[in-house]
Chains A and B, each alone.
Chain A
Amino acid sequence: MTPELSIVVPLYNEEDSLRPLYEAITRAVAPLGISFEIVFVDDGSRDGTVSIADEIARSDPRVCLVKFRRNYGQTPAMAAGIAQASGDVIVTMDGDLQNDPADIGALLSKIDAGNDIVVGWRFDRQDKLVSRKIPSRIANALIAKVTGVPIKDNGCSLKAYRATLIKKIPLYSEMHRFIPAMASIAGPKIAEIKVQHHARQFGKSKYGLSRIYKVLLDLMVIKTVASFTARPMLWFGMLSVPMLVGAALAFACTVVQFASSGTLSLPIAGSGVIFLSSAIILMGSGALGELVYKLGDMREHEFSGLTQHIRVRSLIIQ
Chain B
Amino acid sequence: MTTVTSEDQPLPLSVIMPVGNRYASDIAALYAEYKAGLAALEMPYEFIVVLDGPRPEVAASLQRLLARGESLIVISLTKRFGEATALMAGFQRASGRIIVTAPAYHQVQGAEIGKLVRGLDKADLVIGRRWPRVGSRFEVMRRNLFHSLIAAGGQRFNDLGCGARAMKRRVLEEISLYGDQHRFLPVLANRQGFRILEIDLAQSPLDRYESGYPVREYVHRVLDILTVFFLVRFTKKPLRFFGMVGATTFVIGAVLVTWLAIDRLVFLHPLADRPALLLSSLLVVLGMQLFALGLLGELIIFTHARDIKDYQVDEVIRYPEGAVTGGRAGAAQLDTSDTSRSRVA
Contacts and interface: CB of A to CB of B under 8 A. Distances in A.
B307 A75 contact: no
A215 B332 CA distance: 41
Contacts of A292: 296, 299-300, 303
Contacts of B318: 57, 61, 63-65
Interface string A49-82: 0000010011111011111111010011101100
A312 interface: no
B319 A58 contact: yes
A298 B331 contact: no
Contacts of A68: 193, 311-314
A241 interface: no
A150 interface: no
Interface string A293-306: 10111110000000
A184 interface: no
A72 B314 CA distance: 12
Contacts of A228: 299
A282 B303 contact: no
A69 B303 contact: no
B306 A285 contact: no
A135 B298 CA distance: 26
Nearest to A53: B317
A229 B237 contact: no
Interface stretch (A104-112, A118-126, A271-279): A271-279
Nearest to B303: A296
B211 to A, nearest CB: 41
A155 to B, nearest CB: 19
Contacts of A289: 295-296, 299
Q: How large is the interface on A (under 10, 10 to 19, 20 to 34, 35 or more residues)?
A: 35 or more
Tier of interface size on chain B: 35 or more
Contact of A170 (B292, B302, B314, B315): B302
Given A69-B193, A173-B237, A274-B281, A296 B300 contact: yes
B243 A220 contact: yes
Contacts of A196: none
Given A172-B310, A225-B298, A67 B316 contact: yes
B284 interface: yes
B169 interface: no
Interface string A31-51: 000000000000010000000
A61 B303 contact: no
B278 interface: yes
Tell me the dominant secondary structure on chain A's binding face: helix
Nearest to A169: B305
B105 to A, nearest CB: 34
B310 A79 contact: yes
Contacts of B295: 224, 285, 289
Interface stretch (A20-28, A89-97, A262-270): A262-270
A172 B303 contact: no
A278 to B, nearest CB: 5
A9 to B, nearest CB: 14
A225 B299 contact: yes
Nearest to A185: B302
B302 A72 contact: no
A281 B291 CA distance: 11
A77 B277 CA distance: 49
A249 B47 CA distance: 71
A236 interface: yes
B324 A59 contact: yes
Contact of B284 (A67, A171, A224, A274): A274
A72 B240 CA distance: 17
A61 B321 CA distance: 5
A236 B306 contact: no
A224 B296 CA distance: 10
B304 interface: yes
A214 interface: yes
Contacts of A270: 277-278, 281
B32 to A, nearest CB: 38
B319 A170 contact: no
A137 B280 CA distance: 37
A120 to B, nearest CB: 24
A288 interface: yes
Given A64-B316, A64-B317, A58 B243 contact: no
23 contacts: A58-B319, A60-B324, A61-B318, A61-B324, A65-B318, A67-B315, A67-B316, A69-B194, A72-B311, A76-B311, A77-B311, A170-B305, A224-B298, A228-B299, A278-B284, A281-B285, A281-B288, A289-B296, A289-B299, A292-B296, A292-B299, A292-B303, A297-B307
Given A66-B313, A236-B292, A277-B285, 5 more contacts: A63-B318, A266-B271, A285-B296, A289-B299, A297-B303
Closest 4 CB pairs of A and B: A296-B303, A170-B305, A70-B193, A69-B193
